Amino acid sequence: MDLSQTSAKELLNDLSNRSLSAEEVMRATLARIAAVNDQVNAIVALRDPDDLLAEARVVDQGENLGPLHGLPIAVKDLVNVAGIASTQGSPLFRDHVPATDDLLAARLRAAGAILIGKTNTPEFGLGSHTFNPVYGATRNPYDPALTCGGSSGGAAVALATGMLALADGSDMMGSLRNPAAWNNVYGFRPSWGRVPSEPTGDGFLHQLSTLGPMARSPEDIGILLDVISDPDPRQPNSVESSPITPVQTADLQGLRIGWLADWGGAFPMEEGILDLCQNALAVFAEMGAEVEEVPPPFDAERIWDSWITLRAWSVAAGLQPLTDRQAAFKDTAQWELEKGMALSAMDVHHASVARTEWFRCVVEVFQRFDVLVLPTVQVWPFAIETPYPAEISGAAMDTYHRWMQVVTPVSLLGLPALSVPAGFGSGGLPTGMQLVGPKGADARLLSIGAVYHAATSWPQKRPAM
């Protein structure tokens, strides 16, 4: 068995019934990392292999530890993990080795995972292109001269190349979805509040970012989502959720899909992306779904203005304790900090009003449709030396993140969204599309995605590395 090609479900079943040892899985994982990681730079801060093998042997000698028993996992480098360098991609934290786990890492460990290191991320997680001054850039396995996306870029590449079977990530502005699209895997942004964040700082106001899972199938995503879900009593907006595993396959007969395309031209797209998404939608139609193109339900600029205000406010709140070292930030972090610090209370209020109006609008849209669909990205992977696209098909981008505007209608409202692979363009590069549901429809989206995955199996068409 080639363990790098095996699903998380199958690995975990074999680990649980002891037909496969944690040591065997660890040896295979380390061998795969040794074979491919130098080419893509996805796994960073890897622990000593001898220590990892010794830990795996201890796991084999004990009781079953939980749903992730013996599975190697590298954690996104925005999460503190005890005993492993946790840098946020910033030189300010290059030597930071925490003594305790963040909540997400603690849940992984309690479920039986063996935490082997980190997955690479942009500095402070800002920007959908994974590069930083601590570890460098993570490369796209379909073309190492190109970006892999971000900010969960290392996680997506590790999945795509078979170095990991499951990976965590986080998503404020598409960071679970964008790299999933560009690496031919699945990324799931859960309903906001389902997966609690770290219980520090404000717990009421900043409702934009969420932690979530990535995998090579919706079924595997469900396994990890159950581990990292459940409310934290210290956080006022965390919500109760029912288990998703095993992910059930949906009956798509009569499923009402609203295709939002490029939002009536508001989101410029590079050639070929919309065509591939429409081809993917045809898969749903062949299985009985009703696909209808939907005109823009809300003004894209109002969503965007609300988004960049609330995002800058949230990012600045996170960076504010480091303002005495602001000169060490990358330019985009400085831009977010300065924009956020300049906002007035009424600026934030007006942005929140616009968000509320968009929410009321989308509630009405979901009375007509079960699922809304958008492309996950607006461009193909770009040169790894390029910080971010300055234009799309001749349309100038006025900020460093405007090229990812297509994810903001979802992020602004905290809706669940599954980025599914949509195939390959003429240049051999992958892209994806977002299946979006109403708040709380997480299980339903994964069940729909499971049917699509069974019909397409895109992630199993992986790069030869």
The C-alpha atoms of residue 419 and residue 185 are separated, in whole angstroms, by 8
> Which residue of the set 4, 86, 90, 151 is catalytic?
151
Q: Give yes or no for a contact between 313 and 327, defined as CB atoms under 8 angstroms apart.
A: no
| Count of CB atoms situated within 10 Å of the CB of 380 | 21
Whether 76 is a known active-site residue: answer yes
**Of the candidates 243, 273, 188, 213, the residue with the CA atom closest to the CA atom of residue 449:** 188
Unique residue bearing structure tokens 């095996």: 6
Where are the extended beta strands (E) located within 111-265? 114-119, 131-132, 136-137, 139-140, 143-147, 166-171, 186-189, 210-215, 256-259
308 dihedral zone (left: phi>0; alpha: psi -120 to 50; beta): alpha
> Which residue of the set 9, 76, 118, 439 is catalytic?
76
Whether 339 is a known active-site residue: answer no
Q: Give yes or no for a contact between 128 and 404, defined as CB atoms under 8 angstroms apart.
A: yes
CA distances from 368 to 23, 78, 250, 292, 454 (A): 51, 38, 19, 10, 27
Residues 6+ apart with CB under 8 A from 123: 88, 89, 90, 132, 133, 134, 329, 330, 333
Q: Backbone phi, then psi, for 253, in 5-degree steps?
A: -60, 120
Please enumerate, as own/partner, the contacts of 199-203 that have beta carbons within 8 Å and a separation of 24 or more.
199/103, 199/232, 199/234, 199/235, 201/317, 201/318, 202/317, 203/234, 203/235, 203/236, 203/237
The C-alpha atoms of residue 180 and residue 175 are separated, in whole angstroms, by 9
Instruction: Tell me the one-letter amino acid at 21.
Output: S
> Which residue of the set 175, 229, 238, 314 is catalytic?
175
Q: What sections of 134-205 are H helices per DSSP?
A: 153-160, 178-182
Q: CA-CA-CA-CA torsion for 32, 34, 35, 36, nearest 10 degrees?
A: 90
Tell me the catalytic residues: 76, 151, 175
